Copies of this chain bind each other. A is one copy, B any other.
Amino acid sequence: MKLNVPEIIRRKRDGERLGDDELRALIGEYTADRIPDYQMAALLMAIFFCGLDTAELAVWTDAMTRSGAVMRHDRVRGPKVDKHSTGGVGDKISLCLAPAVAACGVPVPMISGRGLGHTGGTLDKLESIPGFRVDLEPAAASAQLERLGLFLIGQTEDVAPADRRLYALRDVTGTVESIPLIASSIMSKKLAEGIDALVLDVKVGEGAFMETAARARELARTIIDIGAASGVAVRALLTDMGAPIGRTVGNSLEAREAIDVLRGGGPSDTIALTIELGAEMLVLGKAAKELEAGRASVRRVLADGTALALFARVIEAQRGDPRVCDDPSRLPVAAHRDPLAARRRGYVTGIRPRAVAMAALEVGAGRRRKEDDIDPSAGVELLVARGDLVEAGAPLAALHHGGSGEGEAMRLLESAFEIGDAPPASTALVIDRL
């Protein structure tokens, strides 16, 4: 199809619908380097303002998915279900959730990403486990899914190359914050996993990509619509990101915390998120009739060690050291652990996730740019939670670092804590379900 790209840009700019063939050709030609970045940048900005309707977005996303390889798991029985989180601070839920759900009998083909900026990435947390490999070949991953019910891998070059190019362009052209573009980016990769259903964890709040519940709900509805058009059932939870998830931010610290949850321990919010998201996945995966039964199943596999045992087998299958499951001290440990003391007595009324994340970034736990190296052992350990009463001088947090960036990190970390005279109102972890 011969495209008149300036004319297509004008039509989208003027609020018109684009045709299915046009949308597919735009994605195809752009991925094949036959549409220049400057035209795609203008089109993306026009989409930022004028959007894509449900039907346009379904085609646009499908074209992005088909720009690369799409996995099939023909030998894996039953519905395959994954979870996607829009990204938070301290979000290590995938590491405990995926083994728990797989242990309940629902296959989980999980492809994750790396951290960038203030949000962490599941791959980085997995790779803090010594030896763990996230670069399985598709056939090997599918075979592992059949055998263990779970793989935890990274996105290869083959998966949705259109998304990789579009995302890189959006990042430098001020077109990231567009609901249809965010939704299509997420779903193009998820649909390439060969899933039948998806649970979406849309984080809401200061530490999240979506700062308001209204925007989060709009994103969730958009993704549900894309899923419906592709035959993938999507359930979405809007969850609170007003404080970091759990007590740790940083890769090996978070892996350790996830193992705590798989051992039946861990912080209450992390356990609760695992149970809530897990129950949704079990219902979608037909392993539970309703949520309450799903919750009970997840609780059981966390309590009886089944989920931890499965995680150990997956680690071993992916060449990692499974002994971390019994002995988390085998995970990388930072050279320094500096405490942060409370300046005054009072209630912890807030722990600002973005400031905690920036402190972790400062000591090397994350990346400013894609090409940056990270320090798997660096990060922040929170020693108090929102609502706790602390005495002046009591430790609020500990900074784990290798001896660089700790000065600025400590200042950022201190700025994260809000101490007041009265305890804060309690907040709901799950804000809404769609």
Size category, A interface: 20 to 34
Given contacts A13-B48, A42-B42, A49-B49, contact A174 B37 (CB under 8 A): no
In the complex, the chain B residue whose C-beta lies closest to that of A12 is B174
**Which of A8, A169, A174, A175 is the most central at the interface, judged by chain B CB atoms within 10 Å of its CB?**
A174
Residues of B within 8 A of A8 (CB): 174
Asked if A172 is an interface residue, CB under 8 A from chain B, the answer is yes
With a cutoff of 8 Å between Cβ atoms, the chain B residues found around residue A48 in the complex are: 13
Does A46 belong to the interface (CB within 8 Å)? yes
A145 to B32, CA, bound (A): 53
Copies in the complex: 2
Q: Which of A42-77 contact B (CB under 8 A)?
A: 42-46, 48-49
Minimal beta-carbon separation of A14 from chain B (angstroms)? 9
Contact of A173 among B38, B172, B177 (CB under 8 A): B38
Chain B: CB-nearest residue to A5: B172
Question: A100 CB to closest chain B CB, in angstroms?
Answer: 39
Q: Is A40 an interface residue (CB 8 A)?
A: yes
From known contacts A9-B174, A172-B5, infer whether A42 and B39 are also in contact, taking CB-CB under 8 Å: no
Instruction: Flag A1-36 by CB within 8 Å of B: 1 or 0 each.
Output: 000011111101100000000000000000000001
**26 sampled A-B residue pairs with Cβ under 8 A:** A5-B172, A6-B172, A6-B173, A7-B174, A8-B174, A9-B45, A9-B173, A9-B175, A10-B174, A12-B174, A13-B174, A36-B37, A38-B38, A38-B40, A38-B172, A39-B41, A39-B172, A41-B41, A41-B42, A41-B45, A42-B42, A42-B44, A42-B45, A42-B174, A42-B175, A46-B174
6 further A-B pairs in the complex, CB-CB below 8 A; given A6-B171, A42-B175, A46-B174:
A6-B173, A7-B174, A13-B175, A36-B37, A39-B172, A39-B173
